[in-house]
A and B are shown apart, each in its own frame.
Chain A
Amino acid sequence: MKRGIPLIIAGVVGTVLVIQYFIPHTPFGVLNDVFSDWFSIIQATAIWLGALNLIKVSGDKVYKRKRDWQFSLVVILCFLLMVIVGFFFSGGRRFLDPGTPFSLLYDYVYSPLVAMMFALLAFFVGSASYRAFRARNKEATVLLIAAFVVMLGRVPLGDALTGWLPDWLHLSVISNWIMNVPNLAGQRAIMIGIALGIVSTSLRLILGIERSYLGGE
């Protein structure tokens, strides 16, 4: 019973949503929108569960002085700061205007932190490339050459080095060809495989063959 009802719901809803894709007539045509709205509502409401769990876990670590409890304290303080400012001191309707508390937190705390995390990629790409691009075999050598061509071709340095050659041998031209032809072909092939995988997995979920998301076999 515990798993029977969710399986039936998954099966019925999944089947109906597949059918409704082909039938514009009411009520089928609006089902996708309706179910998506329901999911958005559940998703938005569920954020509270996550937030409460975060406070509970972090609070527990601080209270019991577990290892690295100081980081959990920072989490709680930042969470409360953003919630209080967002709800009570945001600056009202004009909260986006420069100088409002919300704006200050967004521009001088949130934005730089997020940009900094993304900027880590620049450094990690360096270390990952250093480790990964070694000509261990034929395929790795081809990968290495392609990496050189694309990395140099995507910046003006590539054309500065090969500007004296015929147009079709400029690194930017070859780099564009690599991105638009072999890379694209590979991406499309992977996407086709993924799409088929999604169809198969979805069918297994609808038919109740795949039940692991309910827990157990």
Chain B
Amino acid sequence: MTQKLLTGVLLVFTFAAVSIAQEADISGQAVDSLPPPTVAPPSEATAKDTPNDAGSSITITWKRSPDDLARVSGFIGYDISRGTSPEGPFEKIGDVPAGTVDDPELKAYLDNNTVDGTGYFYLVEAKAKGAVSGAVTSMAVTSSQAWFNFGLINMFIATVFMISAILYYISSAKAGKKLYIRKIAGLEAVDEAVGRATEMGKKIFFIPGTQDMDNVQTIAGLTILGRVSRLTAEYEARIDVPVSRSLVMITAREVVKEAYLSAGRPDAYTDDMVYYLTDDQFGYAAGIDGLIVRQKPATIFYQGAFYAESLILAETGNSIGAIQIAGTAMPAQLPFFVAACDYTLIGEELFAASAYLSHEPKLLGSLKGQDLGKIVIIAALIIGFLIQALGIYNFASLFRVAGG
């Protein structure tokens, strides 16, 4: 609003000055030969191959026009043009608006449509009302693909370290080294929960989360389903697994069928134990709630990824007096499960479940590797806190993940 007012005032003064000049013949010139509007050009235009990428990209940077920095009224922005020789011709490829007060002196533009191996020159032109002036990059730049993204070097080191730690402890567990794992109350209670359902003659519901097979939590949930199904087969209890995703339905059927087979009860298994409801989040929650209220299962497992439906499901289960064991790695949903369920596997306990329930050395070894990773992170936090608090070094920058 203020900008428009200023522009209007400037125009009025300009016209007034022109009229006075005409009358008094100060300049001796006619109105239609006013000097053309001008704009200060940008400077230091440079282009370079965008690093750590898959090619076809060049980054152009330039120092903003003094008119842009001074926020002169009428300044519009910059046109970016590209050519294969410094004299042109240049073809416009994009534009960038004027900077704001908080923007740095240097502006950048990403040309993502280059042909690798072709040399390009770029023209960066500042635009104001009716005026254009530009700067050309001084040398040809070609884009190329990188074989390694050095912006992710810290991630690479962390990945190699974690994989090595886990593999080391897996191999030492295979070699017979005894590994301690603390009690996880939720997993200790699985037997009791399945037994309770058997005694009461009521069903067990297993809800493997609301996400698909590409979510690790769903896989972790299905791992627990395998163990629970084996118990239900042995105890001759009935289990229902209503799912939210078709691929989960297919996988869960395999898991339950194999569990019944390994328990020596293949005849007790039917495909109808695992059935699909809907992909829709709250449609699924409504369906589960209806099943819980009507069928009144004795035991309900919630193992996987959940969102807002977590409390709806858990409270409904609580209202019918079912014993509920939940496990999720969704931090926002953990408080709801803790409040409404009898036992909750918190975060990584869900992923530790398969190791815990099977006590297989290889799986236990991987947990130990995880713990080593945690120790390193804790040490980094303490060291980093001290270093940064004392102003010695920006330790956090070592953990920044650059774009790739």
A–B touch (CB < 8 A): the answer is yes
Binding site for B on A (CB under 8 A): 18, 21-26, 29-30, 39, 42-43, 46-51, 53-54, 57, 60, 67-68, 71, 113-114, 117-118, 120-121, 124-125, 127-129, 131-132, 187, 190-194, 196-205, 209-210, 212-217
Contact B219 A197 (CB under 8 A): no
Least distance between B297 CB and chain A CB atoms (Å): 14
Contact B279 A47 (CB under 8 A): yes
- The B205-264 residues at the A interface (CB cut-off 8 A) are 212-214, 216, 219-220, 222-223, 226, 245-247, 249-251, 254-255, 257-259, 261-262
B223 proximity list for chain A (CB < 8 A):
210, 212-213
Least distance between A148 CB and chain B CB atoms (Å): 15
B309 proximity list for chain A (CB < 8 A):
117
Contact A50 B276 (CB under 8 A): yes
- Among A39, A200, A212, A213, max chain B CB count under 10 A is at A200
Contact B276 A26 (CB under 8 A): no
Least distance between B140 CB and chain A CB atoms (Å): 22
Interface footprint category on B: 35 or more
Contact B334 A200 (CB under 8 A): no
Contact B216 A191 (CB under 8 A): no
In the complex, what residue of chain A is closest to B159 when comparing beta carbons?
Answer: A18
How far is A118 from B312 in the complex, measured between Cα atoms in Å?
8
In the complex, what residue of chain A is closest to B150 when comparing beta carbons?
Answer: A22
In the complex, what residue of chain B is closest to A186 when comparing beta carbons?
Answer: B331
B315 proximity list for chain A (CB < 8 A):
124, 127-128
Decide yes or no whether B84 CB sits under 8 A from chain A.
no
- Among B54, B246, B262, B366, max chain A CB count under 10 A is at B246
In the complex, what residue of chain B is closest to A46 when comparing beta carbons?
Answer: B246
> Main SS of chain A's interface residues?
helix
- Among A29, A212, A213, max chain B CB count under 10 A is at A212
Contact A204 B255 (CB under 8 A): no
- Besides A25-B145, A114-B283, A117-B309, 11 more A-B contacts (Cβ < 8 Å) are A24-B53, A25-B54, A46-B245, A47-B246, A49-B250, A49-B276, A50-B246, A197-B370, A198-B216, A204-B363, A215-B226
Contact residue among A57, A117, A118, A193 (Cβ-Cβ distance under 8 Å from B275): A57
Contact A21 B152 (CB under 8 A): yes
B152 proximity list for chain A (CB < 8 A):
21-22
A117 and B312 contact, Cβ closer than 8 Å, known pairs A25-B54, A187-B331: yes
Decide yes or no whether B4 CB sits under 8 A from chain A.
no
A200 and B351 contact, Cβ closer than 8 Å, known pairs A53-B275, A117-B285, A117-B312: yes
B351 proximity list for chain A (CB < 8 A):
194, 197-198, 200-201
Contact A22 B148 (CB under 8 A): yes
11 contacts between A and B (CB under 8 A): A25-B145, A54-B275, A54-B277, A118-B282, A124-B311, A131-B318, A197-B348, A197-B352, A198-B216, A199-B166, A212-B223
